[in-house]
């Protein structure tokens, strides 16, 4: 079923490229069934067309009515005008999937014909290497068949979870902003390792592989992080000493506050956008 679908991207930025690249690499559907559009940047369209063998057109030349799935991937500030332009050309047999940060399904539904299926999708930046954790949530006119189609498409860039829309802000705080938290940890591990005499490249690889390996242990063993932590922590050992230092410096609380602060800001951005756009 999936291989017959025609997918149209409105917007041709890095996220659109990551998704399209994943679809092509994993043979989700023929490259010729993927059309990338933008309004002005012809050089970008040519680049994507040559690199992935997909279609690429100016937006005004796209045959919107022939698309099964339309992925909104323009800049969020351009969303309102783009949706108003799109509205006369879509029907309820087509699925609108939005990767626009901070824009709710209800906002999109208000600007499109009644009964239009809308799915909100939130990948993270690891999508560029096929390792995203992506959340999807359906609007009022979305069926389980629509959700399954979205899951099938977005597994091209990593793992997919279906959540309620009210959970999108906390998902943003964890998965959307989370890569930056990990990079921050890696920065400090690397700096400390270099200060203690390790080569910078070696320090970086050791730190990154350690975090990768620990993450893979959680995913592959189905053991919770607390159990795994206790299994590798011997009384009065080196790991116990390191963990004591983290506790003394309130590292756990700092991470909780980081997630909650990002969640709060996500909600603020969404509310500010929708207030201005009403």
Q: Is 10 labelled as part of a ligand binding site?
A: yes
Residue ranges per structural domain of the chain: 2-165, 176-262
pLDDT at 67: 97
Q: Which helix (H) or strand (E) holds 74?
A: none
Give the DSSP letter string of 207-256. HHHHHHHHHHHHHHH---HHHHHHHT--TTSHHHHHHHHHHHTTHHHHHH
Q: Is 14 labelled as part of a ligand binding site?
A: yes
Q: Is 11 labelled as part of a ligand binding site?
A: yes
Query: Are domains 2-165 and 176-262 of this chain identical in fold?
Result: no
Q: Is 216 labelled as part of a ligand binding site?
A: no
pLDDT at 230: 98
pLDDT at 270: 86
pLDDT at 30: 94
Q: Is 144 labelled as part of a ligand binding site?
A: no
pTM of the model: 0.90
pLDDT digits (tens, 9 = 90+) for 152-170: 999 999 999 999 999 999 9
Residues 6+ apart with CB under 8 A from 120: 97, 98, 103, 104, 105, 108, 136, 137, 138, 139, 165, 168
Count how many residues are written for the chain.
Answer: 278
Q: How far apart, in whole angstroms, are the C-alpha atoms of residue 227 and residue 10?
A: 45
* Residue 3: Cβ within 10 Å count: 9
Please tell me the CATH code under which domain 176-262 is placed: 1.10.3730.10
Please tell me the CATH code under which domain 2-165 is placed: 3.40.50.720
Give every residue of the chain whose pLDDT is below 50, as ranges: none
Q: Is 141 labelled as part of a ligand binding site?
A: no
pLDDT at 276: 66
């Amino acid at each position: 079923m999936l291989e017959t679908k025609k997918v149209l991207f409105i917007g041709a930025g890095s996220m659109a490229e990551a998704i399209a690249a994943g679809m092509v690499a994993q043979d989700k559907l023929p490259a010729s069934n993927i059309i990338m559009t933008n309004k002005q940047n012809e050089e970008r369209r040519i680049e994507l067309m040559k690199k992935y063998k997909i279609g690429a057109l100016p937006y005004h030349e796209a045959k919107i009515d022939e698309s099964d799935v339309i992925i909104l991937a323009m800049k969020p500030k351009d969303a309102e005008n783009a949706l108003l332009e799109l509205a006369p050309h879509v029907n309820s047999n087509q699925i609108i999937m939005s990767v626009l940060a901070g824009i709710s399904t209800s906002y999109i539904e208000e600007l499109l014909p009644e009964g239009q299926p809308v799915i909100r999708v939130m990948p993270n930046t690891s999508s560029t290497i096929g390792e995203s954790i992506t959340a999807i949530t359906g609007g009022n006119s979305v069926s389980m068949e629509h959700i399954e189609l979205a899951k099938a498409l977005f597994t091209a860039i990593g793992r997919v979870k279906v959540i309620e829309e009210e959970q999108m802000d906390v998902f943003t705080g964890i998965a959307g902003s989370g890569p930056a938290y990990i990079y921050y940890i890696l920065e400090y591990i690397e700096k400390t390792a270099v200060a203690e005499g390790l080569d910078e490249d070696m320090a970086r690889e050791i730190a990154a592989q350690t975090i990768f390996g620990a993450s893979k242990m959680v995913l592959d063993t189905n053991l919770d992080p607390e159990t795994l932590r206790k299994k590798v922590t011997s009384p009065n050992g080196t790991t116990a000493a390191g963990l004591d230092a983290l506790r003394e410096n309130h590292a756990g609380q700092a991470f909780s506050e980081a997630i909650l602060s990002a969640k709060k800001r996500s909600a603020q951005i969404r509310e500010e956008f929708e207030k201005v756009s009403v």
